[in-house]
Amino acid sequence: MLSITGRDNLQLPKIQTTDQDLQLMQTKWISILNPLLAQPLSSSNILSNISLVNGNNVINHKLARKMQGWFMTDINAAATIYRNAPFNDETLTLHSSANCVVNLLVF
């Protein structure tokens, strides 16, 4: 059983032996897996050891598309960090209140 949110219980079909059964299984799996793969977090990047200076910082997010959001997963100093430019196809602009090193998950 595959649980996505704890409430959804998706089940993959058991493997059958005929070609027709295989085609039916593939169709069923596609209908289950494609919506999961289409979620923005499925194609995220982790940017490690990004040095931020006090002030504005421009970071290449390496997504090759317009990013939709970001999470800070680690920080080594007390700092307030926020995005201060619109999302675009190449960069994330963050403002930091202090010098620090962060890890970011971008999606």
Parent domain of 24: 2-38
- Point out the least confidently predicted range of 9-18, 72-81, 98-107: 9-18
End-to-end CA distance of the chain: 27
Residues 47 and 34 in one domain: no
Dihedral of CA atoms 3, 62, 73, 8 in degrees, nearest 10, equals -10
Mean pLDDT to the nearest integer, 90-107? 98
Phi and psi at 22, nearest 5°, equal -65, -45
Residues 16 and 53 in one domain: no
pLDDT digits (tens, 9 = 90+) for 23-66: 888 888 888 888 888 887 888 999 999 999 999 999 999 999 99
pLDDT digits (tens, 9 = 90+) for 65-81: 999 999 999 999 999 99
Number of domain units in the chain: 2
Residues 49 and 98 in one domain: yes
Residues 59 and 21 in one domain: no
Residues 16 and 48 in one domain: no
Residues 72 and 96 in one domain: yes
Residues 95 and 62 in one domain: yes
